[in-house]
Structure 1
Amino acid sequence: MSADLPADLDGLRVVLGSGSLRDVPAEADRLGARRVLLVAGGSAAAHGDTVAALLGDRLAGRLTEVAQHVPVDLAERAVRLAEGVRADLVVTIGGGSATGLGKAVARETGLRIVAVPTTFSGSEATPIWGLTAGGRKTTGRDPRVRPTTVVYDPDLFRTLPATLAATSALNAFAHCVEGLYAPDATPRTDRWATAGVALLTGGLARAADRLPDLLVGGLHAGLVLGATTTGIHHKLAHVLGGTYRLPHADTHAVLLPHVVAANAPAAPQAMAAAARAMGRADHDVAGAIWDLGRDNGAPTSLHALGWPAAAVDDVVDAVLAAPPPNPHPVERPWLRALLLAAHRGDRPA
């Protein structure tokens, strides 16, 4: 690994190294856990099998069903299982969906989490939870849901499909950019954000040996997301994902360049910081992000994700019902133009 962990981890314990998946039982021991609930399904099922075998009789139960945006009924079943097996620790292996399900359990039970991420979204470093019911996604912050320990095993990322790696990294990129213009940004979060932008840019720009930068860049992004207030980008991603079931990372990848272009005139200092971190003398942050996505095979339009432009006013209404803080005022014409530009998917001018 060539990328260094941030000096300030905000109290998060991080275990990093090739083969560190096998350290999960030792982390459970360190936390005094004897009845572990394991969340690992889908593409992470095999990794879950490995940890389950290593845990032996400390494995109290296992969840193999995970879903994006964490449906409430799935969360309720997970909580019942945790209580039924008298779990004293949750271990999650997978992307944001697995981590999010573990957080739903922790929020209701107070159990600690050991998270083993397999994507770059950074959810493992945040106190943010999210649940979806009736086509609407609700999010909140609760210190109980922030994992106690994060185990990063680079070997788990080496088989990540290139397109998923790109969209996941752009999801993390969005955390960093919004952190730079967040109303509660601080010098510490700015350091995390600019370091994250630089690492993610470098990782996405290289065809080989990109993993260290993307992995540590995602950690920086999670630290930023956990410490700052999100703006219109995340609000739109949650509305589109929760209501229209659009894939989470893909939606972030499509929206980000258009949100950046729309906000840039109102956030010149943040854009200048992002441009410096990206090495862009022309300050074309929005266009550069769009290029990174396209060059790495990420989708570039909401149309390609199946979202209909005819739904634009429904989305605008949902956002305006509870508009987030944002550098540019969140107004109907501005928001419609942003969404329609993302639907078309042209490179931001």
Structure 2
Amino acid sequence: MSNAAQPNLLVDTLRRWRDSDLFHSFTRSPLVVIAATVALVMILAAVFAPWVAPFNPFDPGGLKLMEANTPPAWVKDGMPKFLLGTDEQGRDLLSAILYGSRISLLVGFSAIAFAAIFGTLLGVLCGYRGGLLDVAVMRIADIQLTIPSILIALMIDGVARTALPRELHNEVAIFVLIFAIGIADWPQFARVARSAALVERSKDYVAAARVIGRSPWSIVVRHVLPNTLGPVLVLATVGLALAILSEATLSFLGVGVPPTQPSLGTLIRVGQSFLFSGEWWCVLFPALTLVLLVLAVNVLGDWLRDALNPKLR
């Protein structure tokens, strides 16, 4: 493709997006626009935390215990350079929240991506092939759905901590957390993908693909799987908020990321111990950040679910 054709392709893509029902549905809802703006700002601030944050909260050389428990800048005894105050170690709370949001978002996105890919592929395979594989996988999914996801994640985290050497706990904590949350959420994606695959495999285009000699693997990958991604995308958007909450819950319970890499859940867990001693800002601002992030993602997920439902158009 020539260089002149590439801008034209981009312009055509943007024009089709602007004229689509999805874009008009997005612009007609002020609440969705606000939620998208809030989510985008928070995600960008977290991604670019090393450049946006006023301080590096994890640099021991930059910490001063004399500045510990400093209130927010607008409160009496506050310091202008610490907009949201400091914690018990003298870390700038705004910087800690930005860096903590990076970890929460990393775990949330990675866990839901793992659950979506694993569950969708397994569900499509079961829905298209059927038979003993379908029965076995769906019964496992049914059993797992009767157990709260947080308990499954706690069990997996506990097993990993028992099996791995103690000196490796902090190094692999984030990977274990991603796997624990992801493996706890895969049944939902598998059931949705299986239902969509059952509908798609009975359509004429699949029968035509079989007649012309397409292999089952080619039919699944090139035809059935792409047509199941709509409901999976909606479920992933809603599941992202739940994955972030699961990470915060596990970190609050002390079995999430290590203290050297605190997430929003870790900041809330540490801050709540100072709530009744007067340092309310240590828990309030991380908690508000978590609430805003989860609420914004949930609003986007609800809108996407309604926008992609033809019955509601």
Select the structure that is richer in helix. Answer: 2
Normalised to the residue count of structure 1, the TM-score between the two structures is: 0.22
Normalised to the residue count of structure 2, the TM-score between the two structures is: 0.24
